[in-house]
Amino acid sequence: MKEFDLIGRYFSAGGHKRRDVVIGIGDDCAVTMVPENQQLAVTTDTLVADVHFLRDAPAKSVAYKAVAANLSDLAAMGAEPAWISLSLSLPAVEETWLSDFVSGLYELTQYYSVQLIGGDTVKGPMAMTITAQGFIPPGSELTRSGAKPGDWVYVSGTLGDAGAGLDILQGKLDVSGEARDVLINRHYFPTPRVAVGTAMRRIASSCIDVSDGVISDLKHILSASGCGANIHVDRLPLSRALTSAVTQEEAIEYALSAGDDYELLFTVSEEQRGSLETSIASSNVKVTCIGQLTGHSDKLMLYKNDEKYEPKQSSGYEHTF
Amino acid sequence: MKEFDLIGRYFSAGGHKRRDVVIGIGDDCAVTMVPENQQLAVTTDTLVADVHFLRDAPAKSVAYKAVAANLSDLAAMGAEPAWISLSLSLPAVEETWLSDFVSGLYELTQYYSVQLIGGDTVKGPMAMTITAQGFIPPGSELTRSGAKPGDWVYVSGTLGDAGAGLDILQGKLDVSGEARDVLINRHYFPTPRVAVGTAMRRIASSCIDVSDGVISDLKHILSASGCGANIHVDRLPLSRALTSAVTQEEAIEYALSAGDDYELLFTVSEEQRGSLETSIASSNVKVTCIGQLTGHSDKLMLYKNDEKYEPKQSSGYEHTF
């Protein structure tokens, strides 16, 4: 099958259509319009089979996760998602796999009103690169570098579920019943926190999404902002599924070091805490204060019940060479 | 080496800086500004080692070609390039290779005033995906679908050089001296026809870049525009290097069917031929009329000295599954 047919058959037909897309899939470029008084946020993420996702994962979840990871980066910037481009490398055309992949892709793009505007399909090892774009009003972007000593550290949702889900799938963790399904689902179908990100515009002083574990990602904020942090591991938000499946200590380790939760980690000044509560009320997502920033540059201190805590793994998950 | 260090060391420091980039490499997203009254053109291309480029090609040329292929897509739309995002997948970090790659990348981005605004580096098979973005005034975009019967078919530069260069590198063609260097250089370092593309705004009725061979790419225009074409193969623009290296018939075959020339193939109505000559004069690139469109939908006829011509290969180079 020719690659052009492949693109045509699976990607051209469906998916959400936006009025700001002048030319979509099928020409040398897509042509789009950015609204007046909006900046453009751009992010690119690559997922390689057996590095970033399991090769035998359901195709629907592979697409879902690839899109979610990119929308999560937009959310971490406070941007509202608009368009994605997809480059898909596959060793061979398997029609069922492709059809499931497209259904996962379009499920998420439909939900977030995002249009697939183009891309490329090539024969090669299983991998995909998505470039996602969104809008953000000038001066409203949430960076990693705006945090200040004294700011409070918050995280959305619950942490550690996706990591436990991955361990279940790889046979490293034995969990049964509903908790098993919940944790595996959190690994396969992460939720990009788009509503939380846009709600945090002009409220959070810094923001990042938790893709490599909360310790690792918090360190990026600390480094970019020149701050330290005191984090209380007993305040980490844990799901009932996770706490029913593992010991409290194991749950804390998953929450600190496991990747792919795609929750938002952000900081809020004392003055903005009132606005945070008002703003987050409408988003229907729980946020939890897990600690406070200090002036000790790059110094991350962990506490459990106010005593110093040493994590088993000192840094988060990172794809290394 | 951690991937974050890799990004930091090789890509964050250098390269062209633009005033419309609010936040560049290093946060969850880049943040940019599209000028008022400009549309955004977006294109994505993936190059896989040993499919789209030779694995042992000089790293500088790999980067150069990957960027050029994307800028060529912008040029084919009439867009002025602005930013690129790069996702780079490598099996291992080789410092010399990376440093050469970055130098090739920055050479081209500097020349075209393009800023690298972000991307990703992952461990995996050697491959790269670039998303390039540029600007185009509303209504000025050059599509594949605007051609009409009677329009003249033009091509920029010369055709077939890159294909001959590839055959030389693969030992399928024996050429020595200056012609050898010229042809290999055209394969390794293609020139995106950015100036031609912007000069053709509101003049060309359709446009595409020649990445899969002129026959294959012309067919995309014919199919999208519902036209046929009569092409005179004796009018195909051939370089002195190519005609000195192979027979005339072989040169025509390279020109018709070989890929990766990255010239622009476009159509111009009789009324616009005067504007074409005025406009192209300032771009310092030769354009050649190679035929005319007909009303016979999808029917491509080739002639040599006004007699019907049968090419040896009926379609252009296409990466197939």
CATH code at position B291: 3.90.650.10
Q: Report the pLDDT value the prediction gives residue A315, as an integer from 0 to 100.
A: 47
Task: Mark which residues 112-151 of A lie under 8 Å from B by CB.
Answer: 117-120, 122-125, 127, 129, 131, 133-134, 136, 138, 141, 143-145
Q: Is B33 on the interface with A (CB under 8 A)?
A: yes
Contact (Cβ atoms closer than 8 angstroms) between residue B197 and residue B132: no
Q: Report the pLDDT value the prediction gives residue B316, as an integer from 0 to 100.
A: 46
Same domain (yes/no): A173, A272? yes
| Cα B23 from Cα A76, distance rounded (Å) | 14
Assigned domain for A33 exists? yes
Assigned domain for B314 exists? no
Q: Report the pLDDT value the prediction gives residue A1, as an integer from 0 to 100.
A: 41
Same domain (yes/no): A131, A166? no
Q: Report the pLDDT value the prediction gives residue A318, as an integer from 0 to 100.
A: 43
- The CATH number given to whatever domain includes residue A14 is 3.30.1330.10
Among residues A78, A111, A136, which one ends one of the domains? A136
Contact (Cβ atoms closer than 8 angstroms) between residue B39 and residue A23: no
Same domain (yes/no): B127, B162? no
Assigned domain for A190 exists? yes
Among residues A111, A136, A161, which one ends one of the domains? A136
pLDDT, one tens digit per residue, over A50-73 is: 888 888 999 999 999 999 999 999
Same domain (yes/no): A44, A103? yes
The verdict on a CB contact (< 8 Å) between B28 and A77 is: yes
Range of the domain at B27: 3-136
Same domain (yes/no): B296, B224? yes
pLDDT, one tens digit per residue, over A147-205 is: 999 999 999 999 999 999 999 999 999 999 999 999 999 999 999 999 999 999 999 99
- Please indicate if the annotation marks B220 as binding a ligand: no
Among residues B136, B164, B180, which one ends one of the domains? B136
Same domain (yes/no): B124, B214? no
- Candidates A118, A260, A128, A295; CA nearest to A185 is A260
Calculate what percentage of chain A has a pLDDT beyond 90: 81
Same domain (yes/no): B109, B162? no
Confidence of residue A129 (pLDDT cuts 50, 70, 90): very high
Same domain (yes/no): A177, A75? no
- Candidates B232, B222, B307; CA nearest to B267 is B222
Q: What is the 3-state secondary structure (H, E, C) of B259-283?
A: CCCCCEEEEECHHHHHHHHHHHHCC
| Cα B78 from Cα B209, distance rounded (Å) | 11
Q: Report the pLDDT value the prediction gives residue A3, as an integer from 0 to 100.
A: 53
Tell me what the pLDDT averaged over chain A comes to.
92
Interface test with A, best of B3, B11, B33, B44 (most A CBs within 10 A): B44
- Candidates A19, A66, A73, A12; CA nearest to A42 is A73
User: Number of folded domains in chain B?
Assistant: 2
The verdict on a CB contact (< 8 Å) between B43 and A319 is: no
Assigned domain for A76 exists? yes
**Exposure string for A193-202, b = 16+ CB within 10 A, e = fewer:** bbbbbbbbbe
Q: What is the mean pLDDT of residues A16-23?
A: 95
Same domain (yes/no): A41, A70? yes
Assigned domain for A29 exists? yes
Q: Report the pLDDT value the prediction gives residue B1, as an integer from 0 to 100.
A: 40
Report ipTM for this prediction. Answer: 0.92
Assigned domain for A79 exists? yes
Q: What are the chain A neighbours of B118 within 8 Å (beta carbons)? A: 42-44
* pLDDT tens across the length of chain B (321 residues): 455 456 557 776 678 999 999 999 889 999 999 999 999 999 999 999 988 888 899 999 999 999 999 999 999 999 999 999 999 999 888 889 999 999 999 999 999 999 999 988 888 889 999 999 999 999 999 999 999 999 999 999 999 999 999 999 999 999 999 999 999 999 999 999 999 999 999 999 999 999 989 999 999 999 999 999 999 999 999 999 999 999 999 999 999 998 899 999 999 999 999 999 999 987 789 999 999 999 999 899 999 999 999 987 644 444 333
| Cα B314 from Cα B213, distance rounded (Å) | 11
Q: Report the pLDDT value the prediction gives residue A38, as an integer from 0 to 100.
A: 97
Assigned domain for A141 exists? no
Assigned domain for B164 exists? yes
Helix, strand, coil fractions of chain B, as percent rounded to 5: 35, 25, 35
Q: Report the pLDDT value the prediction gives residue A6, as an integer from 0 to 100.
A: 63
Task: Mark which residues 37-96 of A lie under 8 Å from B by CB.
Answer: 39-48, 51-52, 73-74, 76-77, 79, 83, 85-87, 89-90, 92-93
Same domain (yes/no): B93, B169? no
Same domain (yes/no): B249, B286? yes
Q: Report the pLDDT value the prediction gives residue B143, as an integer from 0 to 100.
A: 97
Same domain (yes/no): B77, B221? no
